[in-house]
Amino acid sequence: MLYDVLIIGAGPVGLTLAMRLGLNGHKVCVLEAQSDIETDLRASTFHPPTLDLYDEQGITAQLIDSGLVAPTWQVRMNHTNEFAEFDLSILKDHTNHPYRLQCEQWRLSGFLRDYIENKLPNVSLLWGHPCESFNQDASSVVVNSKSSTSDLTTFKAKFLIGCDGARSIVRKNLCLEFEGQTFPETTILATTHFPFQDYLDHLSYINYCWTSDGTFSLLRLKNLWRVSLYPSLDESIDSAVESQSVRRKINQISSSFGDSPILEIRPYKIHQRVVKQYVVGRVLLAGDAAHINSPSGGMGMNGGVHDAFNLADKLNRILKGEGIELLNKYERQRRPIAIKHVIEQSSKNRARMQEKDMSKRLLTLQELKRKSQDKSLALDYLLETSMISGLAESLNID
Ligand SMILES: Cc1cc2nc3c(=O)[nH]c(=O)nc-3n(C[C@H](O)[C@H](O)[C@H](O)COP(=O)(O)OP(=O)(O)OC[C@H]3O[C@@H](n4cnc5c(N)ncnc54)[C@H](O)[C@@H]3O)c2cc1C
């Protein structure tokens, strides 16, 4: 069978592309290496324009039902309780969802899968089917996949999209440079049911915090708090991921934490990279396969979803008769935005919280307070950090 589009990877980006292309009647097949949706805790913030994009298919309503609407976010000095708080309701003339939504990314993947399985018979989702390699010629792409239950199987399509994440096989097969850097620090993610909101005054659902000698973030989900911590100066990563060390650091955030259970501890490194090309003939890249950034500010998955909506529109038009050169517009519209908005903003967010000099931190906090209290400054800043400016700018690129 000749598919219109083969998608490698059933993460949020691959499934969004499958839904958008399937809605236009195209024959789509998604090959996913894992046997089911990955449920590890990764992205947990949905920005306003992402919620606007998913509205039409009712996915946004499902996300809101299972998430927490966060009308504000803060930068705080934890030991003095001083904070700058941004109120997203100021965005009400620019989005139908003037808030951030706190919800796990695997829930989005589940809603997209259910939508596809129930409403789009023209889309096949094949779990346990890793892509091993592919070849393309002027009219099609052939993918080789080997499932646990079958020998090497080939799949043929007019287009192939690599949505296979940061370690993308598709990107590696194209021999494209993934330019950028890996940051020196290791982040330690911990989750707990402990009700920080009962012990820290005026806490928002999203809090980026400084301590007297470090930094952490506190992000709330419906049933838990996600705490991002960093090893102390003299501490190895191995010691920093021990529960004793994590407990000690959380007790510095709130001494009432005591022996409360810690549900999960997971270290991860932060990278910022963008691939040289998004389009090579009939093979495209989207989401983490094309760009990765610091999670500070919650922009990675959102940016990938914006790629997916843009690319689905271009492929839909090409499959209906427009020229293949329209794909170059996808690259022109999305690659500079990943660099100028997603990478730059998330890197600024990271650098602000990693600052060690207390006088510089205090200056930053004063500046953020001033911004948050001035309507026009707050609006500009929130249009940028909520990814509204970047998305609008991308659509204006010819
Ligand atoms: C700890 C952490 C916190 C984060 N927090 C945020 C946040 O708050 N907000 C935000 O916007 N982003 C955040 N991100 C980033 C976000 O998780 C990613 O940007 C997002 O998962 C990208 O989606 P994707 O579909 O492109 O890739 P992925 O979600 O990585 O999905 C790729 C899929 O491809 C599959 N695959 C891989 N190789 C193959 C193969 N050879 N064949 C077939 N299938 C394959 C994988 O199994 C996977 O299912 C965070 C990331 C991490 C690690």
Q: Which of 13, 35, 41, 42 to mutate to test the pocket of ligand 1 (most atoms within 8 A of CB)?
A: 42
Least confident segment among 240-254, 341-355, 360-374: 341-355
Residue-level pLDDT at 196:
96
> How confident is the model over 115-122, as a mean pLDDT?
98
C-alpha distances out from residue 4 to 24, 353, 379, Å: 11, 45, 42
Task: Tell me the average pLDDT of the chain.
Answer: 96
Residue-level pLDDT at 342:
87
Residue-level pLDDT at 148:
76
Interatomic CA distance for residues 210 and 65, integer angstroms? 32
- State the total domains in the chain: 1
Q: Is residue 370 part of a domain?
A: no
Q: Is residue 296 part of a domain?
A: yes
Query: What distance in angstroms lies between residue 288's CA and the mean position of ligand 1's atoms?
Result: 6
Query: What distance in angstroms lies between residue 371's CA and the mean position of ligand 1's atoms?
Result: 33
Strands (E), the chain: 2-8, 28-31, 45-46, 68-70, 72-77, 82-87, 100-102, 123-126, 131-136, 141-146, 152-162, 178-192, 206-210, 215-220, 225-229, 264-275, 279-280, 283-285, 291-292
Query: What distance in angstroms lies between residue 373's CA and the mean position of ligand 1's atoms?
Result: 35
Q: Closest ligand 1 atom, CA of 130?
A: 42
Q: Is residue 372 part of a domain?
A: no
User: Which CATH number do you get for residue 300?
Assistant: 3.50.50.60
Q: By C-alpha distance, which of 143, 265, 137 is closest to 192?
A: 265
Residue-level pLDDT at 19:
98
Q: Is residue 41 part of a domain?
A: yes
Q: Is residue 220 part of a domain?
A: no
Q: Is residue 302 part of a domain?
A: yes
Q: Is residue 76 part of a domain?
A: no
Ligand 1 lining (C-beta closer than 6 Å) = 8-14, 31-34, 38, 42-45, 105, 130-131, 163-165, 169, 189, 268, 287-288, 295, 298-302, 304
> How confident is the model over 355-361, as a mean pLDDT?
92
Q: Closest ligand 1 atom, CA of 164?
A: 34
> How confident is the model over 15-41, as a mean pLDDT?
96
> How confident is the model over 51-79, as a mean pLDDT?
96
Residue-level pLDDT at 233:
85
More confident residue, 295 or 204: 204
Does 150 have pLDDT greater than 80? Answer: no
Residue-level pLDDT at 125:
98
More confident residue, 232 or 327: 327
> How confident is the model over 88-96, as a mean pLDDT?
98
For tokens 């909506």, the residue is: 309
Q: Closest ligand 1 atom, CA of 299?
A: 11
Q: Is residue 172 part of a domain?
A: yes
Full residue range of the structural domain in which residue 172 is found: 2-70+97-179+271-354+387-395
